[in-house]
Amino acid sequence: MNSRRDFLQKAGISTLAISLPFSEALSAIHLEREDKVLRVAIMGLGSYGTRVAEAMKDCKRAKLVGVISGTPSKIEAWQQKYGIPAKNCYNYENYHLIKDNPDIDAVYVITPNSLHKPHSIGVAKAGKHVICEKPMALNAEEGREMIAACKAAGVHLLVGYRMHFEAKTLEVVKMQRAGEFGKTLFFQGLSGFMIGDPTQWRLNRDLAGGGSMMDIGVYSINGARYMLGEEPIWVTAQEVKTDPVKFKQGVDETITFQMGFPSGAVASCLSTYSMNNLDKFFLNGTKGFAEMQPSTGYGPIQAKTNKGPIEADHVTHQTTQMDEMAAIILDGKKPIIPVDGEEGLKDLVIVDAIYEAVRTGARISLI
């Protein structure tokens, strides 16, 4: 083998590239590599957007290449920090122009909850794949509109469910699916933290769509579904409010809720903005149990079962998430636990039912 062919093959270049003159082969190398990386713009350069950007530095399949923000000074700072070219910077008035930008494949929507729907639909209309933060929308109706818009535009809609790629979570899920805990009949999900600044958007119903349930309670809803491996058929819920000044009408402070599943399993969950260190999943079956604490924080996640602790290296959740999402979008990879719009919608249907149960005191059927 001649040395050029040897070099190209070692570099993993296709026979197409090998048959090209050397300079063209190098550009084919470039193209092939570029083609395998999801080029992402982040919309909403706040605290979580920053966390995702930092985590993406270690991604192998996803790259931060653009930003959408209403604050010019933030755009400038991000350009410096992440080497983002001016042609990939947009604001909320002109981001529809992203449709003419061939260097951006997907937009990660990380804005306040009530903006997820309009922003995601705007991105879909611009022909770019949508990755949207949780909760996907304020309610199931909005979620359905987002799914329809992404379908019509022929783009993916993925929800930022980082736990669906976390190693210890996946091990517990694998054990549950393999029947290692026997018939799983009980799940407990505790999700909460003490919220600070009363003026923040999370305590503004118009922007948050509710209170703790929209923000942190969704982890227990989602966790109950992936830990038990089935969909609930009924919901009951109760609200407790100790501070009606901070938690105004329509902004829930604490909600306890229960879900019933077709197998006979039940889930008992708590969502709160008034207690810290509340981040625990417990799954019990006829033959064993799994306990995770912390269960959905940024980690490291701790998990043990009746057989002992689950060991796995901690990898920054958002790094794994973005690499896996690139594989879903670029290679059609099927994740073990779905992260698509339909998955987001299932949680929103339950959120709607929980709020209805709080309002009416009734047991809400989901079938």
- 90 catalytic? Reply is no
348 and 137 in contact (C-beta within 8 Å)? yes
Q: How many chain residues touch ligand NAD (CB under 6 A)?
A: 19
Cα–Cα distance measured from residue 63 to residue 323, given in angstroms and rounded to the nearest whole number: 9
Q: In the bound complex, which residue of the shown chain has the CB atom lying closest to ligand NAD? A: 46
* Segment interacting with ligand NAD (CB under 6 A) among 57-65, 104-112, 284-292, 301-309: 104-112
Catalytic residue (choose from 90, 108, 161, 219): 219
- 287 catalytic? Reply is no
Cα–Cα distance measured from residue 318 to residue 108, given in angstroms and rounded to the nearest whole number: 12
Kindly state the smallest distance separating residue 172's Cβ from ligand NAD, in Å.
19
Kindly state the smallest distance separating residue 73's Cβ from ligand NAD, in Å.
11
312 and 171 in contact (C-beta within 8 Å)? yes
Nearer to ligand NAD, 44 or 285 (CB): 44
**How far apart, in Å, are the Cα atoms of 64 and each of 47, 213, 225, 296, 357?**
16, 30, 31, 24, 41
134 makes contact with ligand NAD (CB under 6 A): yes
Residues in 184-203 that interact with ligand NAD by CB under 6 A: 201
Kindly state the smallest distance separating residue 89's Cβ from ligand NAD, in Å.
14
Kindly state the smallest distance separating residue 249's Cβ from ligand NAD, in Å.
20
Place of tokens 């949508």: 130
Kindly state the smallest distance separating residue 158's Cβ from ligand NAD, in Å.
12
49 makes contact with ligand NAD (CB under 6 A): yes
Kindly state the smallest distance separating residue 46's Cβ from ligand NAD, in Å.
2
166 and 261 in contact (C-beta within 8 Å)? no
Kindly state the smallest distance separating residue 199's Cβ from ligand NAD, in Å.
11
CA nearest neighbour of 131 among 66, 228, 34: 66
| Non-local CB neighbours of 328 within 8 Å, separated by 6+ positions | 156, 158, 334, 335, 339
Nearer to ligand NAD, 22 or 298 (CB): 298
Residues in 146-185 that interact with ligand NAD by CB under 6 A: 160, 162
Amino acid at 250: G
351 makes contact with ligand NAD (CB under 6 A): no
* Segment interacting with ligand NAD (CB under 6 A) among 38-46, 244-252, 286-294, 301-309: 38-46
Catalytic residue (choose from 134, 168, 280, 346): 134
* Contact residue for ligand NAD among 42, 90, 112, 271 (CB under 6 A): 112
Cα–Cα distance measured from residue 109 to residue 130, given in angstroms and rounded to the nearest whole number: 7
Residues in 209-228 that interact with ligand NAD by CB under 6 A: 215
191 and 296 in contact (C-beta within 8 Å)? yes
DSSP secondary-structure letter at 245?
T
* Segment interacting with ligand NAD (CB under 6 A) among 39-47, 221-229, 282-290, 343-351: 39-47
Residues in 63-102 that interact with ligand NAD by CB under 6 A: 70
* 359: helix, strand or coil: helix
**How far apart, in Å, are the Cα atoms of 354 and each of 304, 340, 343, 344?**
30, 22, 17, 16
Nearer to ligand NAD, 133 or 347 (CB): 133
Helix ranges (DSSP H) in the chain: 3-10, 15-18, 22-35, 47-56, 72-82, 116-125, 140-153, 167-177, 205-208, 212, 218-228, 317-331, 341-360
* Segment interacting with ligand NAD (CB under 6 A) among 18-26, 108-116, 141-149, 266-274: 108-116
Nearer to ligand NAD, 113 or 272 (CB): 113
110 makes contact with ligand NAD (CB under 6 A): yes
283 and 224 in contact (C-beta within 8 Å)? no
Phi/psi of residue 23, nearest 5 degrees: -65, -40
Q: Report, as residue numbers or ranges, the catalytic residues.
A: 134, 219
Q: Which residues bind ligand NAD (CB under 6 A)?
A: 44-49, 70, 110-113, 115, 133-134, 160, 162, 201, 207, 215
